[in-house]
Chain A
Amino acid sequence: MQANYKILEHPSDLGIEARGASLAAAFQNAAQGLMSIILDLSTVESSEMRELAVNSSDLDQLLVNWLSEILYLYDGQRFICRDFIIQKLTPTGLKAKVRGEIFSENKHRTKLDVKAVTYHQLFVQENKNGGIVRVYLDI
C-alpha cells in the first residue's frame, strides 16, 4: 500500500504532510504517518477497536488534538492505533473508530519516541480536490 503521507524535515525534529480525498481522509493519513514514525506498523495487527471523540475550537486545534489523542493511546494506554476511520469531522470536533492492538516488546518493532504534536507551521486545508494537512512533531 502506498503511503498517503510524507515525512517533512525540520532542523531537530520531523513533520508529516498528509493528503486525502477529504479532510477526514487527510487526518486519518496524518495519524498513520505519526504511528509509522514511532513503530514499524507492519508488525501491528488490527485486532482491537476503540472509539474516540476529540473536541476543539477550530480545525487547526482539531488536528493537534486528534494526533495528540492517538499519541496518548500509545504512550499512556500502550494501544497502538494502526487503522483509522473518522466518521464525523467538523471544526469543533471529530468522532472516530481506531483499530490496533496493545504494545508488546517482543512483537512490535519500535523506531522513535515522539514527545508531542506542535502548532509550528501547522497547515489544514480542504478544497475541491480533497484535504491536505501539515504538522510538526517534537521528537
Chain B
Amino acid sequence: MFKKFDNYRYLIPKSYKQGMRIDGLVYADDELIKQIEKDQTKDQVANVATLPGLVGRSLAMPDAHQGYGFCIGGVAAADADEGIVSAGGVGFDINCGVRLLSSPFEIKDVKPKLEQMLNQLFRDIPCGTGRKGLLDVTKTELDNVLRDGAQWAVKNDYGREEDIFHIEDYGKISNADPALVSSHAKDRGHHQLGTLGSGNHFLEIQVVTDVYDDEVAVRFNLYKDQIVILIHSGSRGLGHQVCTDYLDIMQGGMRKYNISVVDRQLACVPIKSSEGQNYLKAMAASANFAFANRQMITHWTREVFQRMLGSGDLKIVYDVCHNIAKYEDHEVDGFRKRVLVHRKGATRAFPKDHPALPEELRGVGQPVLIPGSMGTCSYVLVGTDRAMKETFGSSCHGAGRAKSRTQAKKETSADQLLKEMKSKGIFVRGETRSGLTEEKPDAYKDVSRVVEVVHGAGIARKVARLVPLAVMKG
C-alpha cells in the first residue's frame, strides 16, 4: 500500500508493517512504481524502517529493486550516537562504484579504431572470474593499498596527483584499518587488484550525445561528440569477504546487544560498539581497495589510448561509490545532526558549496554518474540542495534490473545479442557468452525514465547523456 505524494514520491507509512519506526519513501513515477511493486522492494524498504536508531525516512531511489535485506537503491541514515550500522546495508561489493574519464578525442577520431581498442582493453585489463590481476601485491603492500586507496596507486605511478581531487573522499577513506580485514579477505584480494570483475561490471567507451546544462558540462570538462570512458567495478573478493566476515560477527553482536531483526541479512550492531567500529574500519579499507582498483584500470586505459591514438590524456570527471556507509552532517527535524548514511546502490549527490567537494567542484556541485545498460545510455547529473534536504544527499545509481538472469538468458542468445548490438554500432566483448546475455539491455529498466524521476524530483539535475560505442564485460 503506497500513498502517492506527488508525481515522483510514494510514501510507505509506518502503519504498513508492524515494527516500522519511521516511514518509507520511494521515488518513482506511475510506471516505475508498478515495476517496483512486482518484487519485494516495498517490504525491504519497510524492513529497513524497523531498524533501531534510524532518522528521517527509509528511502528507495527510482532504480530500486529487490536485494538482500536492504533493497538495491536503498538509503538509510542512522543517528551517529544512538544508531546502528549494518554490513548488509552496505552490501557485499563495498564501494562498488563508477568512474568517468573524459578524453581529448571526438567520435570521428576514435570510430575507425574502436574494435581494435576494445580488443586491446580486453587484453590489458583482466576481467571475469578466475583471472589474476597483472600484479600480485605482497601482504605488506596490500596493507598500504587498504590504508591509502587511490592515493597508493598514484604514488606508485598508476596515475597523476590531480586524479585524487576527482574521487569521492579523495580516493582514501581515512579511518581504514588493514588489521581488521581478515586473512581470508586478503587472500581473495591480493591477486585481484586491478581487475574488473564480472556480473554487471564493465568498461565502456562512450560518446556524449546530448548536453542539457552547458554551464555545468563545461565545468565537468564534457562536450557534445566527445569520447568518454565509464568504468564500473568494486572491491572484488576482498570486499565481498569483509562483508561476509562482519555479517557473521554481527549475527553474534545482535545477541550481545539484544537486537532482533526481521531478516538476518539486516544484521546490525550499535555504531559505537567495538563490532560496529571495527566493521567501519574494515569497510573503509575495502572501499580504499576499490578506489585503487579503479585507479589502476584507469592507468591501463590511458596506456591503451596513448598507444592507439597518440594521447592518453584522460581526465577523471569523477569517481563515486555506490555501496558505502559514511559519517555525514545533515539537517534532521530542523537540527544539524551527525548521521551514518548507508547507501546501497545509491550515489552521493552533494550540491555546490558543500565542504566535502574539492575547490574546483565547489562552485558547481558533485558529478553524479548513472550508468545504463550496454545498449542504451548513461547519464551525468549534478547534486542539488534538494537532495541534501530530502535524501541525505543521495540519488539513484543506475537503471536497476527488471529481469532475472535466468529469464534474460532464456529470451536471447549471445549471437542474437551481439548482432543486435552491432546493428546499433556497438562493439561488445565479454569474458563469457552467458555473462553477456544476462546483462542484455532489456534486462534493465529504462534508465532515461529513472533519470527523469531523479531530475523531476530535484534530487539531482541532468547534465549530459552518454551512449556506448564499445563495451567490455567481465
Asked if B65 is at the interface (CB within 8 A of a chain A CB), the reply is yes
Residues of B within 8 A of A78 (CB): 130
Given contacts A11-B39, A60-B264, A72-B188, 4 further A-B contacts (CB under 8 A): A12-B65, A111-B434, A116-B243, A136-B68
Query: Which 5 A-B pairs give the minimum distances between C-beta atoms?
Result: A76-B187, A113-B129, A119-B264, A113-B198, A120-B68
**In the docked arrangement, what's the CA distance between A112 and B88, Å?**
22
Check: A48 CB closer than 8 A to any chain B CB. Answer: no
A61 touches B248 (CB 8 A): yes
For the complex formed, measure the closest distance between the CB of B408 and the CB atoms of chain A, giving whole angstroms: 10
Task: Enumerate chain A residues within 8 angstroms of B128, measured Cβ to Cβ.
Answer: 110, 113
Is B362 interfacial (CB 8 A cutoff)? no
Tell yes or no: B252 within 8 A of A by CB. yes
Query: CA A111 – CA B67 in complex, angstroms?
Result: 22
Interface centre among B65, B128, B251 (most CB of A within 10 A): B251
**Chain A residues, CB < 8 A from B263:** 119-120
Residue ranges of B at the interface with A (Cβ–Cβ < 8 Å): 39, 65-69, 72, 88, 91-93, 128-131, 184, 187-188, 197-199, 237, 240-241, 243-244, 247-248, 251-252, 263-265, 267, 401-407, 431-432, 434-435, 438, 474
Cα A105 to Cα B129 in complex, Å, equals: 10
> How far is it, in angstroms, between the C-alpha of A101 and the C-alpha of B240 when the chains are bound?
23
List residues of A (94-115) whose CB comes within 8 Å of B's CBs: 103, 105, 108, 110-115
Contacts of B130 in A (CB 8 A): 39, 78, 103, 105, 108, 110
Across the A-B interface, how many residue pairs have beta carbons closer than 8 Å?
115
Q: Quick one: closest A residue to B192, CB to CB?
A: A75
In which size bucket is the chain A interface?
35 or more
- Please give, as numbers and ranges, the residues of chain B lying within 8 Å of A72 by CB-CB distance: 184, 187-188, 241
Q: Taking the nearest CB of chain B, how far is it from the CB of A104, in angstroms?
A: 9
A12-B248 in contact (CB<8A):
no
Chain A residue nearest to B41 in the complex (CB): A11
Inter-chain CA distance A75–B406, complex, in Å, is 24
Q: A57 within 8 Å of B by Cβ? A: yes
B237 adjacent to A110 (CB under 8 Å): no
Determine if A117 and B431 form an interchain contact, defined as CB atoms under 8 angstroms apart: no
Q: Are B187 and A14 in contact (CB under 8 A)?
A: no
Q: Which of B240, B404, B435 contacts A138 (CB 8 A)?
A: B240
Q: Is the CB of A138 within 8 A of B432?
A: no
A7 on interface, CB distance cutoff 8 Å: yes
On whether the beta carbons of A77 and B65 are closer than 8 Å, the reply is no
Residues of B with C-beta under 8 A to A108: 130
Query: By the criterion CB–CB under 8 Å, are A38 and B244 in contact?
Result: no
> A57-B251, A110-B129 are known contacts. Are A115 and B265 too (CB-CB below 8 A)?
no
Q: Give the CA-CA distance A41 to B29 in the complex, in Å.
A: 45
Q: Does A10 contact B (CB under 8 A)?
A: yes
B241 (CB) vs chain A CBs: closest residue: A72
* CB closest chain-A residue, reference B433: A111
Complex interface: chain A residues within 8 A of B267 (CB): 119
A76 to chain B, nearest CB (A): 3
Chain A residue with Cβ nearest B404 = A9
Complex contacts, B91 vs chain A, CB 8 Å: 138
Task: Determine the distance from Cα of A56 to Cα of B131 in the docked complex, in whole angstroms.
Answer: 32
User: Are B252 and A120 in contact (CB-based, < 8 A)?
Assistant: no
Please report the C-alpha to C-alpha distance between residue A38 and residue B432 in the assembled complex, in whole angstroms.
11
Query: Are A111 and B241 in contact (CB-based, < 8 A)?
Result: no
Contact yes or no, B65 A115, CB < 8 A: no
> Residue of B at shortest CB range from A139?
B199
B435 near A112: Cβ-Cβ < 8 Å: yes
Pairs A–B under 8 Å by Cβ, sample size 5: A11-B403, A12-B405, A105-B130, A115-B92, A138-B91
- Is A85 among interface residues, defined by CB-CB distance under 8 A? no
